[in-house]
Amino acid sequence: MVRKILVVDDEVGFTKLLKMNLEKTGQYEVRVENESTKALTTAHEFLPDIVLLDIVMPGMDGGDVAAQMQDDPMLRNIPVIMMTALVSQEETSQDAVAQAGAMNILPKPVNLEVLLRCLEEAFASEAGE
């Protein structure tokens, strides 16, 4: 089963690389949105299984996007993994994933192995495994 991932990040080079690496696994279909103000519209059109969301972006930051997703009945149950350069890999736990409430936060630059493990865990918990 191919899972749909929406990547919302204002860094075009980063999103292209992330999309390429995730799609190379054959497990994911990835849509990219580089303008945070268009993230909700793109999420409505694409209906992703999970959203990878940068925290610091011009326009609306990732926290605002996540809050608006929570207020939207169509989007509120889509898991969100935050990504940020504000947290270094040294500051995160040994598995390089920090937590804020129920939300995972990945430090940038994102380690692909850690991201893939984080995605697997999110899909497993969603499925109740």
d(CA 98, CA 119): 14
Q: Is 125 exposed, middle or buried (0-12, 13-18, 19+ CB in 10 A)?
A: exposed
pLDDT of residue 94: 44
Alpha-carbon separation of residue 8 from 16, 57, 65, 82, 88 (angstroms): 11, 9, 9, 10, 20
Confidence band, pLDDT 50/70/90 cuts, at residue 107 = confident
Query: Residue 98: pLDDT above 70?
Result: no
Cis, bond preceding 58 (omega within 30 deg of 0) = no
Q: Where are the domains of the chain?
A: 3-126
Q: Give the pLDDT confidence of 7-29 residue by residue, as tens digits.
A: 999 999 999 999 999 999 999 99
N- to C-terminal Cα separation, the chain: 16
Residue 8, classed as helix, strand or coil, is strand
Tokens of 70: 């929570």
Confidence band, pLDDT 50/70/90 cuts, at residue 126 = confident
Q: Give the pLDDT confidence of 50-78 residue by residue, as tens digits.
A: 999 999 999 999 999 999 999 999 999 99
Alpha-carbon separation of residue 75 from 7, 26, 34, 44, 45 (angstroms): 15, 25, 19, 7, 11
pLDDT averaged over every residue in the chain = 88
> Residue range 31-55: average pLDDT?
97
pLDDT of residue 102: 59
Q: Hey, what amino acid is at 29?
A: E
Q: 3-126 architecture in CATH?
A: 3-Layer(aba) Sandwich (3.40)
Alpha-carbon separation of residue 16 from 23, 49, 83 (angstroms): 11, 19, 15
Query: Residue 42: pLDDT above 90?
Result: yes
Lowest mean pLDDT: which of 7-11, 24-28, 98-102, 107-111?
Answer: 98-102
